[in-house]
Amino acid sequence: MAVLPIVVLGDPVLRAETRPVAAVTDELRTLVADMFETMRAAEGIGLAAPQVGRTERLCVVEVEGQAFTLFNPEIIAREGTIKWEEGCLSIPEVFGWVERAQYVKVRAMDLDGTEIEVEGRDLLAVCMQHEIDHLDGKLFIDHLSFLKKRAAMAAWEKEKGKYPTGLRILVPGEKAE
């Protein structure tokens, strides 16, 4: 397994269209293992393929000890609303309050190629919606009001100089920034 570089805001892959996955290959199993390792090294709770420069419709989430691999995820039910202060591994040190559904049911294909349904409330629901947004080229900052987005972008202007290559390189075992 390997910790992959995470692309940061400004890389066009974060806005690119993703492609549905027809079958889970060995190469994709390795990618999933690497994405989990990368997410954990970054102390994140979710990671989508575009964040490691890939265009498969694939994300991983891990919330409160529950880990899921989601190929081709789609939200098939949603209920209620919740506001959560979100961040993103591709936009370090930038945060914003986003309103989402409080409950979602997601249908996806898991690592075995089996169709699964995952129900999530609160943080798990927020996380799955955030990651599925990534697969549509959408970022949490897109949900902010004009003024809040402007403030978030100003915060990012100060941060982005830390990533001159456009990549965030994590060293396992080191505290994530």
Catalytic residues: 131
Measured CA to CA in angstroms, residue 60 lies from 21, 46, 79 at distances of 14, 6, 22
CB 62 within 8 Å of CB 40: yes
Span near Ni ion by CB under 5 A; candidates 15-23, 29-37, 80-88, 94-102: 80-88
Give residue 160's Cα distance to chain centre: 19
From 168, 170, 73, select the one nearest 130 (Cα to Cα). Answer: 73
Q: How far is the CB of 112 from Ni ion (least distance, A)?
A: 26
| 49 binding Ni ion? (CB under 5 A) | no
CB nearer Ni ion, residue 88 or residue 126: 88
Q: How far is the CB of 161 from Ni ion (least distance, A)?
A: 20
CA angle 16-167-26, nearest 5°?
Answer: 65
| 32 binding Ni ion? (CB under 5 A) | no
SS3 79: strand
Q: Tell which one of 6, 52, 88, 101 touches Ni ion (CB under 5 A).
A: 88
- Site string (157-176) toward Ni ion, x via CB under 5 A: --------------------
Measured CA to CA in angstroms, residue 144 lies from 73, 147, 148 at distances of 24, 8, 6
Span near Ni ion by CB under 5 A; candidates 30-38, 55-63, 87-95, 141-149: 87-95
- Residues in 98-137 that interact with Ni ion by CB under 5 A: none
Binding site for Ni ion (CB under 5 A): 88
